[in-house]
Chain A
Amino acid sequence: MYTQALNTKEEAVATRPEDAAKLARFQAIVDVEDKIEPNDWMPGGYRKTLQRQISQHAHSEIIGMQPEGNWITRAPSLKRKAALLAKVQDEGGHGLYLYAAAETLGISREDYCEQLHSGKAKYSSIFNYPTLTWADMGIIGWLVDGAAIMNQIPLCRCSYGPYARAMIRICKEESFHQRQGYEIMITLCRGTAEQKAMAQEALNRWWWQALMMFGPSDKDSMHSADSTKWKIKRFSNDELRQKFIDATIPQGQYLGLTFPDPELKFNASTGHWETGEIDWSEFKRVVAGDGPCNRDRMKVRNAAHAAGAWVREAAHAFAEKRRARMATAKVAAE
């Protein structure tokens, strides 16, 4: 899964003159595709951009457990249930890899989580839509994880070592997510008329949202210059979106489904599919907090965190007691 919030800019950090040499050395490392590691010197803007991007990516994974968690108890077979359970567990795991990478930038996981719980930090807007039918499990794997993979593969080469390494692990696992989703779609599309209609209805609801996952159009997104220079971002939003469209349309045609876009057409001269205009007003509304499930997702997350407080307290108390006992036993043995 993926957060689209790559496009909010940090305030420009005034570079002190004594940093000029360090900055030049930093940029030289980045330019030759070497990695920046946690204790290396880095510009303040680079650190802040990564703190925000990696943690919001982590939050997206954690919130992303909810739309699919919704269907675990209602999966149509034991096989589907086991796969969905494993997938949701992966999302949790991805969140943890990413929090671990983000923590190397000097902010603790507790603080990052606090930013999520207080509503200060964003997560991917795609998770603010409800999962109404079983076909949504297929669509999320096929389209949402498919879009995530498009976004994430270039991040495996990100200049920040811990993020790049986390992304390599994540990309390996996302491949399972997308394939299991597409297999659900194939099964539905080869099934009864009602099953096929369910698949089509899910595609109608999710297609535009999946395209929005790549973030605002390049002409409205003036913030990627630094990220590009720092080799955090390798391709523009529109470039990645186009790759996704070109890869996905034939997959949808194979399923015998129709994309909900009357203007969709193949341009033989460019070799690319062209879509109609995306409704960016909806995107902005959901990012601003007014999507169908924004409040519910936050409520569930905060409730889960609060309900787990006694477990964390108990773990601390148990560890403390165990340490005390071991110390006593050691003294007794001496």
Chain B
Amino acid sequence: MFETPMPLWEVFIRNRSGLPHRHCGSVHATDEVMALQAARDVYTRRGESVSIWVVPSTAIVASDPSDKDAMFEPTASKIYRHPTFYEIPEDVGHM
């Protein structure tokens, strides 16, 4: 029997420690209300979360893994962006 597939939603939860929302998995649901309820039941059975985001999976725009080098490689040569690149005399103390 053919059934209409249920849309996929990506689930992000924020735990109690005040960290940012983190991706934890996905759920199937017909709308955002059902997606939130399903996310609560599936991913927060042990007080893992104080906040949930659900996002339609189709709304996520991702970088292409085959572009990884072109995307991220340029930062590797820019060592002057790191504090350790700069020399400060020890006499100055911690900076």
Which residues of A are interface residues toward B (Cβ below 8 A)?
37, 39-41, 86, 89-90, 93, 96-97, 100-101, 103, 108-110, 165-166, 169, 173, 309, 312-313, 315-316, 318-319, 322-323
Contacts and interface: CB of A to CB of B under 8 A. Distances in A.
Given A39-B62, A166-B25, A316-B30, A93 B42 contact: yes
B6 A312 contact: yes
Nearest to B8: A103
Given A93-B45, A96-B42, A109 B4 contact: no
Interface string B67-95: 00000000000000000000000000000
B38 to A, nearest CB: 8
B25 A97 contact: yes
Contact of B41 (A39, A41, A93, A103): A93
Interface in B8-54: 8, 24-31, 34, 41-42, 45-46
Interface of B: 1, 3-6, 8, 24-31, 34, 41-42, 45-46, 62, 64-66
Chain A interface helix/strand/loop/mixed: helix
A101 B4 CA distance: 21
A316 B6 CA distance: 8
Nearest to A37: B65
A322 B62 CA distance: 29
Contacts, number: 52
A112 to B, nearest CB: 12
Contacts of A165: 25
10 contacts: A39-B62, A90-B45, A100-B25, A100-B26, A103-B8, A173-B45, A312-B3, A315-B31, A316-B30, A319-B31
A173 B27 CA distance: 19
Contact of A103 (B4, B24, B26, B29): B26
A323 B8 CA distance: 17
Contact of A309 (B3, B24, B28, B65): B3
A319 B27 contact: no
Contacts of A309: 1, 3
A318 B64 contact: no
Nearest to A323: B31
A312 B41 CA distance: 17
A167 to B, nearest CB: 12
B65 A40 contact: yes
Nearest to A306: B1
Contacts of B34: 315, 319
A166 B34 CA distance: 22
Given A41-B65, A100-B25, A309-B3, A89 B30 contact: no
A103 B6 CA distance: 13
B21 to A, nearest CB: 16
A173 B42 CA distance: 12
A46 to B, nearest CB: 15
